[in-house]
Structures are given as structure tokens and as C-alpha cells.
Chain A
Amino acid sequence: MKNYQWNIAVMCLVTVTIIGAFSFIRATPHEYDRSIGSLHQIREMNISSSSDSKELTLSFAVAHGTKEAMKPTVEILDIESTPLYYGEKLKISNDSSQGKYVVAVNLYDTRLQEAAKHNLNIQGLKLSSENHIVKHIRAAYPADDSQMIIYIGCADKPIVEIDEDKNLLVVRITPSQEHRQE
């Protein structure tokens, strides 16, 4: 191979390598929206229920900006005696339409993508409670710029199971009586 041909080949190889390296370094999962920021982003929320029980499953599709897991914490609260966040304030709710018990899923460094805001917002989403335990779902934001709570209002005292997979957070809510029968 002539000298100049060799030089051209090497230059092409180096250029391609540099572009490839640059692209690789800049690559992030395509579902993660850099313009929103934060470590984790909820892309959407799906609700599914079982036909032969009152169990309800909430599935949150998640995009990550870190290898760390979300590690949500869960509390089961009695709505009549426990204050909940409304805006930046804690208040005891007298709104029985939200259910007798509230499952509070606490999330950290998590923001919502646009598609998730439709169902998950501070106004809340009312669900028919005839076939399952959950009556109401809303997002709340404590007076902290990195925390978010998902309040899940339940008609009966629930049992909560949380599974966190790579890009999915699953919250399974079952009435405690149903759970005991199993």
C-alpha cells in the first residue's frame, strides 16, 4: 500500500474511533430526558387489577440517570389521624373519598416525565373501588426539592409489596383480609 493511502486509512480509522468514543461517552439510556434532570424519572404509570381479587398493581416505568436503585420507602397511614402533605404543608384530611388508609410511597431524587404527569399529579386520580382496594392516587411534594410521595388511598387496610426491577417499579396492594386468607 502506498504511503499516502496508508495515511488516509489511518486518519479515517482515528476519526471513526474518536467519533465512536465520543458517542459512547455521551450515550445515556434513550428514555432518560436530560432536560428534566434528577437521578430517576417516572415515565408513566400503569394500573392493573386482578379479576378474582381486590388486588391492584401500579407499575411505574422508570428511566435512570444513575446505576443506583430508587429504593423507595413505604408507610401505611391512617388518614383520620395522620397528617398528609398538601402542597408544602401537612394537614389531616377530612376527605373520605381518598379512603380510610393511605399508602405513602416515598421517592427521592425522582421527577416525572410529561407522560406521567397526566395521571400522577397533586389533584389526584379517583378510581372506582368496586373491584379493587384503591380509591385514589395522587402525587405530593413535601417541602423539600428532592422528595416526592405517591399517596395511594385505600378503602381497607392494605398489604403492600414493592418490586424494583431495572426499569420498572411495581407496587402491589392487597387487602389485608385477602392476604390472610391466602
Chain B
Amino acid sequence: MNEGLRRRTAQLLIVFLLLSYIAIEVVAFAATSWQPQLKPTIIIPRQEWGAAPPYNMDLRDRTKGMGLIFHHTAHYFPELDYFKTAEEIKRVQDQHMNTEGYGDIGYHYIVDRAGRIWDGRSTNWTGAHSKGNNHNIGIVALGNYEGAWGIGAQNVTTGAFQAMERLSKWLVYQESLDDPFVYTHRQFNDTVCPGGNMNSLILLDLRLSIRNAMQPAVR
């Protein structure tokens, strides 16, 4: 075999090995990583609920967290109406900023009872929702899921839960979070938040839903 042919054969062999290696890596990645989630259909921006601008000097840069922490507002709210919901979110921000002295609404996302997702505090900033764990993204569901004296606790609507699923799957992918992905406030602090009617829904149903979404794409 002359020199030229030998060289060409060697080059082809190297290219073939390189391509094979790349192909194996791609297939392995597709088999073990989960389907990337598109951004939830709509995240309603801050200006839609009339958000006041944050006091940036009171806010701190956020580092990567270990999961998403769920809360409730503990304020009875049965409304599905868009504008009433926007008012309620504004009320929460007013309370956080004007009564409690925060730099902005404490949560990063808000889920309403109609299944809409609203933008809260920027995820560039540490939250103000769970002391000692505010580097985690805080998500609040509007409503009181604990009630008083064992009565008046609201139930999580189907739409709200589906919104939590969509939002969680997207954020878990975006943030590269590990199992168990989602938590509730009462796991970290002395509180009943997010209420008895929501706690097991997050820890059991939502976690299971996210785990199922992570099944290998190639079987």
C-alpha cells in the first residue's frame, strides 16, 4: 500500500472514530437526560399586576438553590378573575414592601386559582419567603390552604396544580435541580405554610409528576 493511501486510510479511521465517539455521547445524553421543557405557556409580567419598582439596594444576588419552595398567602382568596387576581398580588407586594419593609414582593412566582402564573421578584435576587433558604426560588399560591379552627381551608384548584406542574418542570430544568426538586415552607421553618390542603399535594403529587417527566427519553 503506498504512503498516500496509508495516510488517507489513517485519516479516515480517525474521523470515523471521532464521529463514533460523538454519536455515542449524543445518544447517551438523549437517553439519560429528560426532555427540555419549554417555558410555561405564559408567565404574566410584573407590569400586568401594576408592580411597584423594587428597592434594588435592599436586594441581594441569588446563588443557585437546591429546589423550589412552595407557600400560600394564608389570605382567603377565592377569585378567578384576572383583574381581581392582579389586585391581590399588588396587595401582597404592598404588604411586603410597605408594612414589612422588603425590597420587593418576597416570592419569585405567583400561581393563581385560575391556573395563571405571574412574575414576582426577579430570580436574579434572593427571595424573602423562607428564612435561611431564600436562595431557593419561592413560589406562592394565592389563597389560604390551612383555614382557621379546622374550617375555611381552600382546596388547590386543578388549574392551579397544573400551573405548578408546568412552572416546576420548567424551573427544575432551568436550574438543574436534583430530586426531590420541590419543598414546602414548613419543612424549613416553624410554620404551617403552605397549609394542610396543599402540603401533601406538593410533596407527593408534584414530586411524582416531576419524577415521571424525568424518565429517560429513549427506552
Binding site for B on A (CB under 8 A): 25-26, 28, 32, 34-39, 65-67, 86-89, 108-109, 111, 117, 121-122, 140-147
Instruction: Tell me what chain A mostly uses at the interface: helix, strand, loop, or mixed.
Output: loop
Question: Is B193 in contact with A109, judged by CB distance below 8 angstroms?
Answer: yes
Inter-chain CB contacts under 8 Å: number: 96
The 10 A-B residue pairs whose C-beta atoms are closest, nearest first, are A65-B148, A87-B101, A141-B100, A146-B191, A144-B131, A143-B128, A37-B74, A88-B128, A37-B75, A88-B102
Instruction: Give CA–CA (A88, B57) in the complex, Å.
Output: 11
Chain B: interface residue count, which band? 35 or more
Distance in angstroms between the alpha carbons of A37 and B134 in the assembled complex: 23
Chain B residues near A121 (CB, 8 Å)? 99
B130 at the interface (CB under 8 A from A): yes
Residue of B nearest to A142 (CB): B131
In the complex, besides A28-B151, A143-B126, 13 extra interface pairs with C-beta distance below 8 angstroms are A65-B148, A86-B101, A87-B58, A88-B106, A89-B58, A109-B193, A143-B127, A144-B129, A144-B130, A145-B71, A145-B73, A145-B106, A145-B129
Once the chains are docked, how many angstroms separate the CA of A37 from the CA of B142?
12
In the bound complex, CA of A130 to CA of B102 (Å) = 34
CA–CA, A101 and B128, complex, Å = 26
Hey, which chain A residues are within 8 Å of B74, CB to CB?
37-38, 109, 111, 146
Docked-complex contact B103 and A87, CB < 8 angstroms = yes
Q: How far is the CA of A140 from the CA of B103 in the complex (A)?
A: 14
- Name the residue on B nearest A143 (C-beta): B128
Please, how many angstroms separate the alpha-carbon atoms of A144 and B189 in the complex?
9
* Chain B nearest CB, measured from A64 CB (Å): 8
CA distance A145 to B127 in the complex (A): 10
A111 to B191, CA, bound (A): 13
Give, as a whole number of angstroms, the nearest-CB distance from A115 to chain B.
14
Q: Answer whether residue B149 sits at the interface, using C-beta atoms and an 8 A cutoff.
A: yes
Residue in chain B with minimal CB distance to A141: B100
